[in-house]
C-alpha cells in the first residue's frame, strides 16, 4: 500500500463526494443546499488541485485539467453566492440558488471525470 | 517555461496544501462558532466575512473585529487561527525562498530564460562555444560588428566575467557543456537566424564533437572549429563542411609561404590588413639555419615548414621523447643554453622561441641574442598579460594564438569569397598572386584597399533588367565605372568571380551571405590582432560550389547569382551599391545619358528614339 496513493485518492474522491452532496437535491430548493458544504467542496477541491500539481505524465496533465475546471466552477458558484448575499444584499431566491447549484453541477462533472481517471489508472496498473 | 513551472508546483505542493488546510479549518471554525450582532442578538458569521477576517488576520494586517465585536468564543478560535496561519505562511514563504536559492532550480530557471530569449532572436547571430582567450577576442570583435552572440561555456567563473565586460548588446549566455547535442540545440544552432557556430574551446576533442554535432543537427549552418591535433584536423576535413582553423599549422604555413612564395603571402597581408593602412612589406625571413626552442604542437609544424622550404633546422626541447623521426635534430639534454648551443645557435639565422611558457621564451630570446645578435627572432606569446614583456624583447615576429584565430574567423565570416580567392592564389603557387599584386599596385599604390562582394542578385531592382534574358548583358567592366560620371573609372580591382553552383543556389550554404553590415570588414580587421602573418585556413571542400574565376577580365558577362569579389578604395563600395538600387546608373554608364524615370518621359523617349 502506498500512502501517497491513499492521500491522492482520498482527496479526489472527497472532492467529488462533497461536490455531489452539495449538488444533490431539487435545484430550486434553498434549504437543500447548505453553504457549509459548498465551502468544504471548494476547500477540498483546492487541496486536490495542489495534489495534482507536478505530475508530468499525460494522465497527470488530464487530472490537472479536470481539477482546474472543477475549481473554476466551484469558485464561480461561491462568488455568485457571495455577491448576491453580501454585495447585492438580496435574500436568497430560487433563481440564484439554481445558478449556484448548476455551476456546482458542472464542477461535479469534472470531478466525476477525475474519479474516472483515477479508477482507470488504478485498474491499468493493478498489481 | 513549462519545466520551471512544474518544478515550482511540485516543490511547493506541501506548503500550499498546508496553507489551504489552515485557511479552510479557520474559516470553518469562524462560521461554526456562534456570535452576537451589535444589538446582542445571536448571529453567525457568513463564509465571506470569515474568509475576509482570516485573510487579514493571517497576513498580520489586522483590521480588527468586524462586522461586530467578537464573542469570547470567537476570540479563542481566532487566537488559534492566528498561530496556525502565521506558521502556515512562514512555512510557505520559507519554502518559496529556499526554492529560489536552490541551485537546481536556478539552473532550470536560467536555462528556461535562455531558451526563451534564443527563441525570440529575430536577427542574425553567431554561437560561440567556449569563452577562453580566442572566444573572448572573437566575441568582442563580433560585438563591435553588431552581431548578436550566443555564448556557451561550461566554466561558471568565465561566464560570470561576461557580465562585467563591455558588450554593446549583452550576449545570451548558457552555462553548459556544448559537447552535448541538446545544449547545441538549446543554443539555437538549428534556427534560420543562426549564421555560424564557432567551436573555440581549448579542447580539440570538444571542438570536434561540437563541429560534427552542428553539422549533423543543421547542415546549413557554417561551422568554424579550432583544432590543433593533426589527426582530428584530418577527421574533420574528411567529414566535410567544417572550416577547421589550426592556429599552429596556419602560422607554420605562413612562415613556409614567406620562403616559398613571398608574393602569395604579400597578397594575403595586403588584402587582410585594415583598409587605408600602409601596404605591409614582405617579411623576408632570412634563409639558412634555424633553431627552435620547443618541439611540440607549435614547433613541429614550423619545423616541417622550414624543412619543406629548404631551410636547415635543429631544435631543443627537454620534454622530447626519443622514438621520433626527427630524433637526430632535436636535443633534449642539458639546460636551455647548452641545448640552444647544441642546436647551433651561433651559426643560426633565426631563432623560434616557441615553448608554452612566456618566461622560458623570453629567456630563450635573451640567450639567443647574447650568442648571436644578428639572428631573427620569432616568439610565441601564450598569455595576454605578457604582451608588454614580449614586446619589450622586440621580436621580428610574434605568434599570438587568439589574435590569429580572431583574424581567421572574422575573415571567413565577413568575406568568405576573399578566403576562397586567397586559397586559389595559394594553390596557383605565385603567378596569380604576382599578377594580382601588380594590379593592386597599379590601382592603389602602397595603400591597403577595402574588400567586398558584389552580389548579382536578380531580385535587386537596379540589375534585374540587365540580368534577365533579352536584356543587354551586364559586364564586369561596367561595374568599374563611376555611376556619377562614366568617364571616370572606379578605383577597384575585380579579384574573383564566383559563379553559382549548377543547382542555382547562389551561396555555399543556401543562406544570404550578406548578414554583416556593409564595410564591416574594415572595422573588423582594425580590431586588435589584425596580425601580419595570417593566412586563410583550409577545410571547405571545393565540390558543391560553382566555378571561381580569378581576376575576371572586364568583358566577362555576369549571370544571375554571380558574386564578384572587389578590392577598392574607401567609398567605392558605396558607389557601386548604387547599381543595385535603381536601374538608371547602369543605363547611364552605358549610354552616358540619364534615362527617363517617369512613365510619360519614358514614352516620350521611346518615341523620340526611332526618329533620331
Assign B507 a pLDDT band (cuts: 50, 70, 90).
very low
Report how far residue A107's alpha carbon sits from residue A21's, in angstroms, rounded to the nearest whole number.
12
Give the per-residue pLDDT at B255.
87
Q: Looking at the predicted structure, is the pLDDT value of residue A70 above 60?
A: yes
Q: Show residues of chain B in contact with A54, CB under 8 Å.
A: 6-7, 9-11, 13
Decide if B1 touches A, using CB distance below 8 A.
no
B6 closest CB neighbour out of A43, A46, A56: A56
Radius of gyration of chain A (CA): 16
Give the per-residue pLDDT at B525.
40
Return the residue in B5, B6, B49 with the most chain A beta carbons within 10 A, the one to mutate for interface testing.
B6
The answer to whether B563 touches B417, Cβ cutoff 8 Å, is: yes
Report how far residue B335's alpha carbon sits from residue B327's, in angstroms, rounded to the nearest whole number.
18
Give the per-residue pLDDT at B515.
55
The answer to whether B361 touches B375, Cβ cutoff 8 Å, is: no
Q: Show residues of chain B in contact with A40, CB under 8 Å.
A: 24, 28
Return the residue in B3, B5, B8, B9 with the most chain A beta carbons within 10 A, the one to mutate for interface testing.
B9
Residues B486-513: b if buried by 16+ CB within 10 A, e if exposed: eeeebbbbbbbbbbbbeeeebbbeebeb
- To the nearest whole number, what is the mean pLDDT of chain B? 82
Q: Is pLDDT larger for residue B428 or for residue B520? A: B428
Query: Model-level pTM?
Result: 0.68
Q: Looking at the predicted structure, is the pLDDT value of residue A102 above 90?
A: yes
Return the residue in A46, A65, A71, A100 with the most chain B beta carbons within 10 A, the one to mutate for interface testing.
A46
A50 closest CB neighbour out of B16, B27, B31: B16
- C-alpha distances out from residue B56 to A81, A82, B52, Å: 21, 18, 7
For B362-374, write each residue's pLDDT tens digit: 988 888 888 888 8
SS3 B148: strand
Give the per-residue pLDDT at B531.
33
Assign A121 a pLDDT band (cuts: 50, 70, 90).
confident
Give the per-residue pLDDT at A126.
54
For range A74-91, the mean pLDDT: 91
Distance from CA of B509 to the nearest CA of A (A): 40
* Opening angle at CA B151, ends B149 and B155, nearest 5: 160
Assign B29 a pLDDT band (cuts: 50, 70, 90).
very high
Nearest CA in chain A to B29: A36
Give the per-residue pLDDT at B595.
67
Nearest CA in chain B to A81: B48
Nearest to B410 by CA among B495, B264, B528: B528
Report how far residue B557's alpha carbon sits from residue A31's, in angstroms, rounded to the nearest whole number.
95
Of A64-73, B79-88, B137-146, the range with the lowest mean pLDDT is B137-146
* DSSP collapsed to 3 states, B38-63: CCCCEEECCHHHHHHHHHHHHCCCCC
Return the half-sphere exposure (C-beta side, CA atoms, 13 A cut-off) of residue B254. 25
Q: Is pLDDT larger for residue B272 or for residue B368? A: B368
Q: Show residues of chain A in contact with B17, CB under 8 Å.
A: 47, 50-51
Nearest to B588 by CA among B489, B481, B491, B492: B481
Q: Looking at the predicted structure, is the pLDDT value of residue B477 above 80?
A: yes
Q: Which residues pair with B493 in a beta bridge?
A: B567
For B192-215, write each residue's pLDDT tens digit: 888 899 999 988 899 999 999 998
For range B299-322, the mean pLDDT: 85
Of A10-19, B232-241, B390-399, B495-504, the range with the lowest mean pLDDT is B495-504
Give the per-residue pLDDT at B540.
36
Q: Is the ipTM of this complex over 0.85?
A: no
Distance from CA of B46 to the nearest CA of A (A): 9
Return the residue in B1, B20, B29 with the most chain A beta carbons within 10 A, the one to mutate for interface testing.
B20
Return the residue in A18, A43, A77 with the most chain B beta carbons within 10 A, the one to mutate for interface testing.
A43
For chain B, the residue count is 612
Nearest to B370 by CA among B346, B404, B350: B346
Give the per-residue pLDDT at B499.
82
Give the per-residue pLDDT at B165.
85
A39 closest CB neighbour out of B12, B16, B28: B28
For range B390-402, the mean pLDDT: 85
Report how far residue B377's alpha carbon sits from residue B353's, in angstroms, rounded to the nearest whole number.
7
Q: Show residues of chain A in contact with B27, CB under 8 Å.
A: 39, 43
Q: Show residues of chain B in contact with A56, CB under 8 Å.
A: 6
Alpha helices in A1-127 (DSSP H): 3-23, 35-52, 58-82, 94-124
A43 closest CB neighbour out of B9, B24, B49: B24
Of B222-226, B260-264, B289-293, B584-588, the range with the lowest mean pLDDT is B584-588
Give the per-residue pLDDT at B513.
47
- C-alpha distances out from residue B459 to B455, B527, B546, Å: 10, 34, 20
Assign B546 a pLDDT band (cuts: 50, 70, 90).
low
Distance from CA of A30 to the nearest CA of B (A): 16
Q: Do B47 and A35 touch (CB under 8 A)?
A: yes
Report how far residue B169's alpha carbon sits from residue B121's, in angstroms, rounded to the nearest whole number.
12
Nearest to B240 by CA among B222, B226, B257: B222
- Under an 8 Å CB criterion, which residues of A touch B? 35-36, 39-40, 43-44, 46-47, 50-51, 53-54, 56, 78, 82, 85-86
The answer to whether B303 touches B295, Cβ cutoff 8 Å, is: yes
Decide if B606 touches A, using CB distance below 8 A.
no
Considering chain B, what percentage of its residues have pLDDT values greater than 90? 16
**Residue B297: partners with Cβ closer than 8 Å, 6 or more residues away:** B228, B229, B248
Q: Show residues of chain A in contact with B23, CB under 8 Å.
A: 43
Amino acid at each position: 500500500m502506498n500512502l501517497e496513493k491513499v492521500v491522492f485518492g482520498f482527496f479526489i474522491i472527497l472532492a467529488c463526494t462533497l461536490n455531489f452532496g452539495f449538488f444533490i437535491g431539487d435545484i430550486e430548493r434553498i434549504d437543500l443546499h447548505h453553504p457549509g458544504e459548498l465551502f468544504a467542496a471548494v476547500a477540498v477541491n483546492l487541496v486536490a488541485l495542489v495534489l495534482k500539481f507536478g505530475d508530468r505524465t499525460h494522465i497527470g496533465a488530464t487530472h490537472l485539467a479536470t481539477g482546474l475546471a472543477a475549481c473554476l466552477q466551484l469558485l464561480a458558484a461561491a462568488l455568485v453566492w457571495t455577491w448576491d448575499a453580501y454585495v447585492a444584499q438580496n435574500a436568497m431566491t430560487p433563481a440564484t440558488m439554481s445558478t449556484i447549484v448548476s455551476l456546482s453541477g458542472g464542477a461535479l462533472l469534472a470531478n466525476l471525470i477525475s474519479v474516472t481517471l483515477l479508477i482507470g489508472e488504478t485498474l491499468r496498473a493493478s498489481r | 517555461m513549462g519545466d520551471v513551472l512544474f518544478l515550482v508546483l511540485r516543490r511547493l505542493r506541501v506548503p500550499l496544501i498546508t496553507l489551504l488546510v489552515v485557511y479552510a479549518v479557520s474559516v470553518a471554525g469562524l462560521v461554526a462558532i456562534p456570535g452576537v450582532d451589535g444589538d446582542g442578538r445571536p448571529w453567525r458569521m457568513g463564509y465571506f466575512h470569515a474568509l475576509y477576517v482570516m485573510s487579514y488576520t493571517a497576513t498580520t494586517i489586522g483590521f480588527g473585529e468586524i462586522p461586530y465585536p467578537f464573542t469570547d468564543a470567537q476570540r479563542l478560535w481566532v487566537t488559534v487561527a492566528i498561530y496556525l496561519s502565521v506558521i502556515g505562511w512562514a512555512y510557505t514563504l520559507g519554502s518559496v525562498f529556499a526554492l529560489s536559492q536552490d541551485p537546481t532550480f536556478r539552473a532550470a530557471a536560467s536555462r528556461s530564460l535562455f531558451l526563451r530569449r534564443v527563441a525570440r532572436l529575430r536577427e542574425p547571430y553567431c554561437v560561440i562555444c567556449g569563452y577562453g582567450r580566442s572566444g573572448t577576442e572573437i566575441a568582442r570583435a563580433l560585438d563591435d560588428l553588431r552581431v548578436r552572440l550566443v555564448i556557451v561555456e561550461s566554466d561558471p567563473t568565465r561566464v560570470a566575467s561576461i557580465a562585467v565586460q563591455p558588450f554593446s548588446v549583452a550576449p545570451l549566455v548558457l552555462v553548459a557543456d556544448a559537447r552535448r547535442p541538446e545544449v547545441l540545440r538549446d543554443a539555437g544552432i538549428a534556427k534560420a537566424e543562426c549564421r555560424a557556430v564557432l567551436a573555440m574551446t581549448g579542447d580539440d576533442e570538444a571542438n570536434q564533437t561540437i563541429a560534427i554535432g552542428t553539422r549533423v543537427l543543421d547542415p546549413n549552418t557554417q561551422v568554424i572549429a579550432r583544432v590543433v591535433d593533426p589527426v582530428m584536423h584530418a577527421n574533420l576535413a574528411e567529414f566535410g563542411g567544417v572550416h577547421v582553423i589550426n592556429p599552429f599549422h596556419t602560422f607554420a604555413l605562413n612562415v613556409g609561404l614567406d620562403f616559398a612564395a613571398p608574393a602569395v603571402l604579400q597578397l594575403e597581408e595586403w588584402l587582410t590588413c585594415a583598409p587605408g593602412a600602409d601596404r605591409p612589406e614582405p617579411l623576408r625571413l632570412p634563409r639558412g639555419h634555424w633553431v627552435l626552442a620547443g618541439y611540440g604542437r607549435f614547433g613541429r609544424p614550423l619545423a616541417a615548414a622550414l624543412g619543406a622550404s629548404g631551410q636547415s633546422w635543429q631544435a631543443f626541447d627537454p620534454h622530447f621523447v626519443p622514438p621520433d623521426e626527427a630524433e637526430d635534430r632535436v636535443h633534449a639534454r642539458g639546460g636551455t643554453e647548452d641545448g640552444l648551443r647544441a642546436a647551433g645557435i651561433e651559426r643560426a639565422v633565426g631563432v623560434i622561441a616557441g615553448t608554452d611558457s612566456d618566461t622560458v621564451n623570453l629567456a630563450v630570446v635573451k640567450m639567443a641574442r647574447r650568442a648571436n645578435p644578428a639572428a631573427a627572432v620569432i616568439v610565441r606569446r601564450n598569455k595576454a598579460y605578457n604582451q608588454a614583456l614580449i614586446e619589450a624583447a622586440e621580436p621580428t615576429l610574434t605568434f599570438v594564438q587568439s589574435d590569429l584565430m580572431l583574424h581567421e574567423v572574422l575573415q571567413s565570416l565577413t568575406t568568405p569569397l576573399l578566403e576562397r580567392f586567397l586559397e586559389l592564389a595559394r594553390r596557383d603557387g605565385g603567378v596569380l598572386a604576382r599578377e594580382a599584386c601588380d594590379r593592386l599596385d597599379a590601382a592603389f599604390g602602397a595603400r591597403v584597399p577595402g574588400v567586398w562582394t558584389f552580389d548579382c542578385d536578380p531580385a535587386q531592382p537596379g540589375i534585374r533588367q540587365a540580368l534577365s534574358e533579352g536584356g543587354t548583358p551586364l559586364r564586369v567592366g561596367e561595374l568599374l565605372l563611376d555611376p556619377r560620371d562614366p568617364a571616370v573609372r572606379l578605383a577597384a580591382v575585380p579579384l574573383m568571380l564566383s559563379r553559382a553552383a549548377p543547382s542555382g543556389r547562389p551561396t555555399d550554404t543556401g543562406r544570404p551571405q550578406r548578414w554583416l553590415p556593409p564595410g564591416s570588414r574594415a572595422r573588423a580587421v582594425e580590431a586588435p590582432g589584425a596580425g601580419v602573418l595570417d593566412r586563410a585556413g583550409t577545410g571547405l571542400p571545393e565540390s558543391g560550389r560553382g566555378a571561381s574565376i580569378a581576376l575576371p577580365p572586364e568583358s566577362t558577362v555576369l549571370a544571375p547569382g554571380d558574386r564578384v569579389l572587389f578590392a577598392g578604395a574607401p567609398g567605392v563600395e558605396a558607389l557601386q551599391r548604387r547599381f543595385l538600387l535603381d536601374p538608371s546608373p547602369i543605363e547611364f554608364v552605358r549610354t552616358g545619358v540619364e534615362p527617363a524615370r517617369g512613365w510619360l518621359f519614358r514614352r516620350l523617349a521611346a518615341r523620340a528614339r526611332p526618329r533620331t
